Structure 1
């Protein structure tokens, strides 16, 4: 199985928050931002696999909202692969929000989460994904933390299935 660099699948998506994406309080619907995060994780996983396989979301971990997002804010979603198993990929997705006003720009971290994406072939069987080439200390640290989460949930699944 071939290997790929972390940077090769990094993805950045930006949107302007418009009224149809918001509630009556002028803040973005949580479901809308989660959909955008899931799409970003999908793109990262698809770029990592770089072949015609289906990608499905298996799990979302540590979804935390830090700041509200308002109409006319610019939302930037950043995704990067941090760990790969045999057919699964853990993608870290963070959302930054820019509040733009005359002469000022305030950027804040709005929320983040880890998405576990699984590659499947045309018959619905798990598809082996490329390994990760880790170059920096930060990439290696993120990989090890992802591996710990992966093993923890694998053990939890075994206990649940009995």
Structure 2
């Protein structure tokens, strides 16, 4: 199979969570976590495609546990699946207590990116090759996520059309 290994797109970002990053509960703003997720995922997609990319969708974003002031946010992503011009990227977010070294899952998400050519048009991407059990699991279940994502998008478009018709 011609393609690129999933591990070649792996991207890791770690940052210290400071008071301006947090809400009045002392936990990181969800929007800040989302920005880190999008940044890591876009780098992973660009590493895979070696092209400019745009975010086409962000789904299955689950916040599992809060990240507190003074902890590190650790964000890791890699390309899990490719179609003709699009790439699915899985991102895992962990919180790390820097004093104890304890890490816990804080969130996870799937994002889809489209590669663009120099004219800003969708451009073909090389296939991804999963190697580890984790990579294979994401790959093997990706088509089901793609179908679900496509259906959700169609429903969103239809809902907007209905709303406009009722204005």
TM range (shorter): 0.7 to 0.9
Partner residue of 2:9? 9
Hey, what's the Cα distance between the residues in 2 that align with 1:161 and 1:120? Answer: 23
Hey, what's the Cα distance between the residues in 1 that align with 2:78 and 2:49? Answer: 13
Say if 1:105 and 1:85 are closer, same or farther in 2 by CA, change over 3 A: same
Partner residue of 2:121? 125
Greater strand fraction, Structure 1 or Structure 2: 1
1:41 aligns with 2:37: no
1:113 aligns with 2:99: no
CA contact (8 A) 2:9 2:44 kept: yes
Q: Which residue of 100, 105, 130 corresponds with 2:98? A: 100
Partner residue of 1:26? 26
Partner residue of 2:164? none
Q: How many residues align?
A: 158
TM-score normalised by structure 2 residue count: 0.85
Hey, what's the Cα distance between the residues in 1 that align with 2:8 and 2:16? Answer: 26
User: Aligned-pair distance for 1:12?
Assistant: 0.8
Hey, what's the Cα distance between the residues in 2 that align with 1:156 and 1:29? Answer: 26
Match of 1:140, SS state, is helix
In structure 1, list runs of 5 or more residues that go unmatched.
none
Match of 1:26, SS state, is coil
Hey, what's the Cα distance between the residues in 2 that align with 1:110 and 1:134? Answer: 24
Runs of at least 4 residues off by over 4 Å: 155-162
CA contact (8 A) 2:82 2:127 kept: yes
Hey, what's the Cα distance between the residues in 2 that align with 1:39 and 1:48? Answer: 14
Match of 1:48, SS state, is helix
For each residue in 1:17-52, what CA deviation from the matched residue of structure 2 results, as whole angstroms up to 9, or x when unmatched? 0112112221111101100010000010000012xx
In structure 2, list runs of 5 or more residues that go unmatched.
159-167
For each residue in 1:3-27, what CA deviation from the matched residue of structure 2 results, as whole angstroms up to 9, or x when unmatched? 1011111111100001121122211
> What does 1:26-105 align with in structure 2 at a 5 Å threshold?
26-50=26-50, 53-101=51-99, 104-105=100-101
